[in-house]
Amino acid sequence: MSDVSSAEVCVDGKIIELYAAEGAGCPLVVYHAVRGEGGILWQACMDAGCPAFSLAVVNGVDWDSDMTPWPVPPVMGEGRPFPGRADDYIPILTEAILPAIRGSIPCDPGETVLAGYSLAGLFSLYALYRTDAFSKAVSASGSLWYPGFTDFVKTHSMSDAVKAVYLSVGDRECRTKNEVLSKVEDATAETEAVIRSEGVETLFELNPGNHFKDAALRTAKGIKWVLEK
């Protein structure tokens, strides 16, 4: 990979870890994190042999709110409801955060990829239906069990800018007694089929393990795949 510089940028209360490639036209990957995952993900991408790209890791989002598309009651007995305010967050991402990122990297990216894990993987797909800012997406172990999401995908069209989408899930994630969470593998496969039917290049992979195994590695695999498309 070409030379890379690292920095941090603060936008709208979000701390953004930047790993900026120096080469002209290198793609930009935007990844939403729970906290401080930038270094781990960057190293996983290097180990995976990803082509040259810049990585922006956005920390400080309201995870259960900003990453979810509409309100949903708790899916576990002691859990919290999901407020579902992604539509409020997407303009912040596209109108404030993305311009700040682009202004902080050496060269204008040739394309912009949205990547995420768990609820952020759900958000990475949902955003494709709400903005044309991203040409590719990675949903690694995405929370596609989210009530109503597969119906949404079947009844809406994503941006014409989208060229490739990667989806994955752990092969043990569906092995739960929770009726909602157990649908994740079927929901991911169904979502991939719908997106593929719209002419978008897709890949759906099953990874070994449960939801919490090898998050950075799973995400890096998806990033590598979309960058090579």
Give tens-digit pLDDT for 190-218: 999 999 999 999 999 999 877 778 899 99
Give the containing element (helix H, strand E) for 167: strand 164-170
pLDDT at residue number 214: 86
pLDDT at residue number 3: 64
The burial class, CB within 10 Å (0-12 / 13-18 / 19+), for 76 is exposed
User: Which residue has tokens 């569906």?
Assistant: 174
The pLDDT tens digits of the residues spanning 169-182 come to: 998 989 888 899 99
Question: Can you list the pairs that 189-194 forms with residues at least 24 positions away whose Cβ atoms lie under 8 Å?
Answer: 190/150, 190/153, 191/125, 191/144, 191/149, 191/150, 191/153, 191/167, 192/165, 192/167, 194/150, 194/153, 194/154
The pLDDT tens digits of the residues spanning 22-60 come to: 877 899 999 999 887 889 999 999 999 999 999 999 999
Q: Are 166 and 116 in contact (CB under 8 A)?
A: no
pLDDT at residue number 23: 76
pLDDT at residue number 209: 74
Decide if pLDDT at 2 tops 70. no
Domain ranges of the chain: 4-227
pLDDT (average), residues 57-86 = 95
pLDDT at residue number 81: 96
What's the chain's average pLDDT? 94
pLDDT (average), residues 61-82 = 94
Count CB neighbours of 1 within 10 A.
14
Q: Are 166 and 139 in contact (CB under 8 A)?
A: yes
Decide if pLDDT at 104 tops 70. yes
The pLDDT tens digits of the residues spanning 119-139 come to: 999 999 999 999 999 999 999
* Distance between CA atoms of residues 30 and 56, nearest Å: 5
pTM tops 0.85: yes
User: Which residue has tokens 């009726």?
Assistant: 179
Decide if pLDDT at 63 tops 90. yes
Q: Which residue has better confidence, 107 or 118?
A: 118
Decide if pLDDT at 188 tops 80. yes
pLDDT (average), residues 73-83 = 91
Per CATH, the number for 4-227 is: 3.40.50.1820
